Amino acid sequence: MNDAEPNPTIAEQSFSTLPLQDALLNNLVSLDYTTMTPVQLQSLPILLKGYDVIAQAKTGSGKTIAFGLALLNRLKVENYIVQALVLCPTRELAEQISQALRQLARLIPNVKILNLSGGRSISPQLDSLRHGAHIIVGTPGRIKKHLDKGSLSINKLQTLILDEADRMLDMGFFEEINNILMRCPKPRQTLLFSATYPVEIKKLASAFMQNPTKIMVKETHTALDIQQIFYETLQQKHKFSLLKSLLLHYKPSSALIFCNTKEQTIQLTKNLINEGFSATALNGDMEQSERDIAIILFKNQSCSILVATDVAARGLDIKELPAVINFELAFELDVHIHRIGRTGRAGHKGLALSLTMPADAERLCLIEENLMQPITWGNSSELNQINDTILSPSVVTLCLSAGRKDKIRPGDILGALTKEAGLAANTIGKIDITALYSYVAVHDSQADIAFQHFKNKTLKGRKVNIKKIG
C-alpha cells in the first residue's frame, strides 16, 4: 500500500490545474468552487489516473466532490450502462450524494443518476432501472436486493466507491458489502472513504483493492473554529430546563440537538414545540418521506431546531450550522468529535454545547484528553433569563407536486417566481427536486405571493398542487 504525502506548497491549488473535462471545470467555476480542500488536493491527482485509493477523512471534508469529479471525468455518457456504484450507510447520505453528483454533472448532458436505497418502495426503482442508468448510489441492503433480483447489472462497472465504510460496517452491512464486491468485475477502480481505519476495513482493502494509495486527512476543525462549553446538571429531570435556558441565552439561528435514543428525539421535540420553539425530530423509525421533509425544512431554515440520533443525522451536511447541542453525551469519543464537527465549517465559527451529569465523568475525561486542555465549564446561573424571546424562522418552505419525473429543474421554479411572480431572487432560497416533489424556500414576506402564483398558474405548462410544509 502506498501512502500519499500532503504537499503544503500547493495549499492554494485551483481545480483548473487538474486534467478535467471542460464541462466539469466550467461548472466548478459557476458553483464558485475554486480552491481544493485537503482531501481533494491529496486524492484527485491519484483518482484521475484511475488508481485505487483509501482516504481517511471526516464528513464535510469535500470527499464527495473528489470522487464525484473522478467518476464523472471518465464517464462515457453514450454508453447507457452502470459505470459507477457508490455504496453508503444511510438513505439520507445516499440522497445527499446523488444531489451533489447531479450538481457536478449539470453541464454534461443526459447523465442519469439513480438512488437505490432501502426504506422506499422498490417498484419505482425497478421502473427506473428498466430505462438504464450511468451512476447508482445506494445502501448495501437495497443494492444487493436488486442484484439478487437481476434488476441491476454491474458487469461493466468501472468505479466502485465505499463511502463512510466504517459506519456501514458498524451498522452490520459486512456480508452485503462482501457479496456486492464479489460480483464486481475486474479490473475496476475501487475507492474507500472512512473516518476511521479499523481492522475490518483493512481486511476489505486487502481482499478487494489493487495496491491502494492511503491518504490521511487530519481533522480540519480546530479549537479556534469551535467553542466547546459544558454545562452540568445533577438530575435528568432538570436537563430540559437547562436546554431551554441555553437556547434563550445563545439564540442560535439554527441548532442540531443530538440524543442517544429514538424515543428521546420524539419527547424532546414535543417539549420544545410546547415551549414555542420551531423544532422537528429525525430518527430511524420515521417514514422516509417524513425524514426527507425534516431534513429539507432544517436545511432551508424553515425549522430552527433538528433533534436527531447519530445514525439518522449521518449524511446531514450543512455548510453553516451555528450550534450543535449534545442533550446527552455520545458514548464514544469519535462520535462526539463527529457531532461537534458539524459546526465551525468553511471558516465559520461554531458553538458546541454539551449537557452533562455526574455519571458522564469517564466520557468527559476522554474528551478532555482529546482537547489537550481543561474542559470549559459554563455556569447555568449566569445564563440570560431576561430576554426570553424565541427566534422564529424567517423562511417558509413550499412543496410542489412535480419533480424529476416531470422533468422539473431548479431553474424552472426560480424562473416562475422571479420572471412570472415578480419575486426578487434574494427572497428565494434553496430549491430541492426529488423524484415526485419539489421544495422551494421563500422568505416569509413573499411566501403568500409565491403560494398564490403556483396555485393559480402552471409550471412548465402543467397545473401543480402546492402546500406549505414549514
Q: Band of the pLDDT at 386, cuts 50, 70, 90?
A: low
* Residues facing 357 on adjacent strands: none
What's the pLDDT band for 61 if we cut at 50, 70, 90?
confident
Q: Is the pLDDT of residue 33 over 90?
A: no
CA distances from 121 to 125, 132, 439 (A): 8, 18, 21
pLDDT (0 to 100) of residue 11: 41
Span of 98-107, 298-307, 367-376, 382-391 with lowest mean pLDDT? 382-391
pLDDT of residue 468 exceeding 60, the answer is yes
Place of cell 396555485: 455
pLDDT at 319 over 90: no
- Of 256, 255, 305, 264, nearest to 284 by C-alpha is 264
pLDDT digits (tens, 9 = 90+) for 116-172: 998 788 999 999 999 899 999 999 999 999 999 999 999 999 999 999 898 888 888
Lowest mean pLDDT among 25-34, 129-138, 298-307: 25-34
Query: Are residues 399 and 357 in contact, defined by beta-carbon separation less than 8 angstroms?
Result: no
Mean pLDDT of 30-49: 89
Intrachain domains 2-216 and 226-382 with the same fold: yes
pLDDT the model gives residue 265: 95
Residue 263 clears pLDDT 60, i.e. is over it: yes
Half-sphere exposure of 329 (CA within 13 A, CB side): 24
Q: Which residue has the higher pLDDT, 190 or 386?
A: 190
Decide if 20 contacts 45 (C-beta within 8 A). Answer: no
Query: What pLDDT, on the 0 to 100 scale, is given for residue 4?
Result: 52
Q: Which amino acid is at 170?
A: D
- If you average pLDDT over residues 212-218, what whole number do you get? 85
**From 94-98, 195-199, 309-313, 325-329, the region with the lowest mean pLDDT:** 309-313
Task: Give the other-Cβ count within 10 Å of 192's Cβ.
Answer: 25
| Arithmetic mean of pLDDT over the chain | 88
Cis peptide before 358 (omega within 30 of 0): no
DSSP H helices, 251-347, are 262-274, 288-300, 310-313, 333-340
Domain ranges of the chain: 2-216, 226-382, 395-468
The kind and range of the H/E element at 459 are strand 458-459
Nearest alpha carbon to residue 306 among 333, 283, 330: 283
Per-residue confidence (pLDDT) for residue 314, from 0 to 100: 66
> What is the architecture of the domain spanning 226-382?
3-Layer(aba) Sandwich (3.40)
Mean pLDDT confidence for 319-348: 84
Residue keyed to cell 405548462: 461
Distance of alpha carbon 245 from alpha carbon 385, whole angstroms? 7
Strand, helix or coil at 432? strand
pLDDT of residue 223 exceeding 70:
no
Q: What is the mean pLDDT of residues 305-311?
A: 89
Q: What integer pLDDT is reported at residue 324 of this predicted model?
A: 95
Q: Give the residue from 6, 26, 103 showing the smallest Cα distance to 64.
A: 103
Per-residue model confidence (pLDDT) at position 96: 84
User: pLDDT value at position 442?
Assistant: 95
The predicted model gives 58-74 an average pLDDT of: 88
CATH class given for the domain over 2-216: alpha beta
Q: Give residue 9's pLDDT.
A: 43
- Encode pLDDT of 405-450 as tens digits: 888 988 899 999 999 999 998 999 989 888 889 999 999 999 999 9
Which architecture, in CATH terms, is 395-468?
2-Layer Sandwich (3.30)
Kindly report, residue by residue over 84-104, the tens digit of the pLDDT: 999 998 888 888 899 899 989
Which pTM does this prediction carry? 0.68
Q: Which residue has the higher pLDDT, 11 or 329?
A: 329
Question: Which one has a higher pLDDT value, 189 or 435?
Answer: 189
Cell digits for 332? 464514544
122-130 and 140-149 helices, crossing angle to 10°:
60
Asked if residue 232 has pLDDT above 60, the reply is: yes
395-400/438-443 β-pairing: antiparallel
pLDDT for residue 66: 94
